[in-house]
C-alpha cells in the first residue's frame, strides 16, 4: 500500500443525510448531556500504544467526553512511542449491527488528532477509505480505515486522540460489499448511519520502504 509522507488514505464515500433518530439517538442524547472530562488535552488519560501493538476498544456512553473545536464527542486517547524511524498508525472503525442502542446498524466515523509533547495539535485526519468486503463474509468485518505515516524526523508527535464530530453524526457512511454475480464481481453500497459510539481498533506498524 503506497502512501506519501504525511498523507492518509482517501476517501470514504460519504453522503449527506438529514439526522435521523434511528441508530443511536439514545447515545447521542447521552452525549449532549454528558459532563466534559477536562479542560485541556493535557488532562486526558492516555493509554500507552507501542510499535507492534494492536488495541481493540469501544467508544460508548461510559467513555470520557470533551468539547473539541468541532463539538462535543466521546473519545479515546493514546500515548505514542518515542521512535527514531517512521511508522504507521492504522485506525479501523467497524460496522456494528443492531444492539441495545439501536434498531439499525451503525458505524463510528473517526477523527484522528495527533499532538506534540506540549499537547498542541499537529494535524487532524478526518477521512478514511472503505475496503469492499466479499458478500460471503460477515458485515462485522466491514470497516472505515485511516492510515497515517508518522515521521519523527519531521514532527515529534507524542499523542493520538480518536473522536468524531457533530457534522459526521448527521451523515452516513457507504460501506462497500463485493458480490459475485452472473456478470462477475460487482460492488454495491450499503448505507450505514454514523454514530456517537462504536467499535474500533488502533495499531502501530513498522514503516515499509
Q: Decide if 5 is inside a domain.
A: no
Helices (H) and strands (E) in the chain, counts: 2, 17
The per-residue pLDDT for 101 is: 55
Q: Decide if 7 is inside a domain.
A: no
- pTM for the whole structure: 0.85
CB-CB contact of 181 with 40 (8 Å): no
What percentage of the chain exceeds 90 in pLDDT?
64
Query: Which portions of the chain are predicted below pLDDT 70?
Result: 1-25, 98-103, 208-209
Q: Decide if 26 is inside a domain.
A: yes
The per-residue pLDDT for 35 is: 95
Q: How far apart are CA 151 and CA 99, in angstroms?
A: 39
Percentages (nearest 5) of helix, strand, coil residues in the chain: 10, 45, 45
Q: Decide if 4 is inside a domain.
A: no
Domain holding 176, by residue range, is 14-206
Beta bridge partners of 189: 176
The per-residue pLDDT for 25 is: 64
Number of Cβ atoms within 10 Å of the Cβ of 63: 19
Domain count, the chain: 1
Query: How confident is the model over 48-103, as pLDDT tens digits?
Result: 999 999 999 999 999 999 999 999 999 999 999 998 899 999 999 999 986 655 56
Amino acid at each position: 500500500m503506497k502512501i506519501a509522507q504525511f498523507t492518509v488514505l482517501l476517501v470514504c464515500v460519504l453522503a449527506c443525510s438529514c439526522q435521523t433518530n434511528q441508530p443511536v439517538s439514545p447515545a447521542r442524547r447521552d452525549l449532549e448531556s454528558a459532563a466534559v472530562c477536562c479542560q485541556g488535552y493535557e488532562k486526558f488519560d492516555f493509554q500507552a500504544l507501542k510499535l507492534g501493538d494492536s488495541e481493540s476498544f469501544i467508544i460508548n456512553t461510559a467513555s470520557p467526553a470533551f468539547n473539541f473545536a468541532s463539538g462535543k464527542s466521546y473519545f479515546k486517547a493514546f500515548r505514542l512511542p518515542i521512535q527514531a524511524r517512521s511508522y504507521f498508525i492504522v485506525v479501523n472503525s467497524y460496522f456494528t449491527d443492531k444492539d441495545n442502542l439501536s434498531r439499525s446498524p451503525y458505524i463510528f466515523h473517526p477523527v484522528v488528532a495527533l499532538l506534540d509533547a506540549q499537547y498542541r495539535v499537529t494535524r487532524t485526519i478526518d477521512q478514511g477509505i472503505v475496503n469492499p468486503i466479499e458478500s460471503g463474509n460477515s458485515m462485522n468485518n466491514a470497516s472505515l480505515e485511516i492510515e497515517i505515516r508518522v515521521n519523527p524526523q519531521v514532527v515529534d508527535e507524542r499523542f493520538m486522540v480518536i473522536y468524531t464530530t457533530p457534522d459526521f453524526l448527521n451523515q452516513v457512511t457507504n460501506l462497500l460489499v463485493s458480490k459475485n454475480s452472473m456478470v462477475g464481481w460487482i460492488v454495491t453500497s450499503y448505507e450505514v448511519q454514523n454514530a456517537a459510539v462504536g467499535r474500533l481498533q488502533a495499531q502501530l506498524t513498522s514503516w515499509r520502504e
